[in-house]
Amino acid sequence: MTTADMKNIRAKRAFICDMDGVLYHGNRLLDGTRDFIDWLKAANKKFLFLTNSSERSPRELKEKLARLGIQVDESVFYTSALATAIFLKSQRPGGSAYVIGEAGLINALYDAGFSMNDVNPDYVIVGETRGYSFDKIQQAVNLVLNGAMLIGTNPDVVGNAEHGMIPACRALTAPVELATRTQAYYVGKPNPLMMRHALKKLGCKREETVIVGDRMDTDIIAGIESEIDTVLVLSGVTAEKDLNSFSYRPRYVARSVAELVP
């Protein structure tokens, strides 16, 4: 990036940052993360750590960063589980759901006024989980065939892990889609709905905001479709050589968030 590029980024009032691949890999803090967050605080920037993962609640994410030596408030986290719960509450207040997912998703739905239902739910909702099983797939398939609407918390096919890649939400939802010939509705990035929620939470306009992410197919396209400036960091799943595989470009490219710190 040029000096002018850096100046433009640092002048932004608000930062929406992906987490895995941008701030950390698994349980390993990435170089520059501590300095970047210290700068955001010192410069009085508004910031939101936005993740497509639906496994953890904001409290759990706060505690994870604390274990890595980073102290931030619980309110700076926004997950696809929260976005899914907000969306479904607007669609069907007081509805019910059959959930294949972890506590972060289930708690968000409870907080939005939803109940759990494995007999005749309004929705079947799939998020990331290590408790995936054939029995749950079979139950989900039959509930969708009986009229439940299929929702995925995000369209990620794979995710980052400390020792490689792991199947993510779309990979887990695919068997239900194929068996029912139904297309799930995915709420997380790059759905502009999640980005609008994030801007409302920040209280900022898109022109004064930048999104920092490591994925072209979620973070960067989400920013482009929401007309928010984008910074692709090469510390996650996207390498510089991968850019030629996409028909769109990020506004800026950096090796890591360390480059964003004055």
**Is 18 one of the annotated active-site residues of the chain?**
yes
Asked if 31 is an active-site residue, the reply is no
> Which residue, among 177, 154, 193, 208, has the nearest Cα to 9 in the 3D structure?
208
Please tell me the chain's helix, strand, coil percentages from 3-state DSSP, rounded to the nearest 5: 40, 20, 35
Active-site residue, from 20, 214, 219, 229: 20
| From 5, 18, 35, 73, the catalytic residue | 18
Would you call the peptide bond into 190 cis, given omega within 30 degrees of 0 as the criterion?
yes
Q: Sheet containing 209-213: give its strands across.
A: 77-79, 46-51, 14-17, 209-213, 229-233, 252-254
Q: Coil, strand or helix: which one is 135?
A: helix
What is the dihedral sign for C-alpha 21, 165, 220, 87?
Answer: negative
Active-site amino acid positions: 18, 20
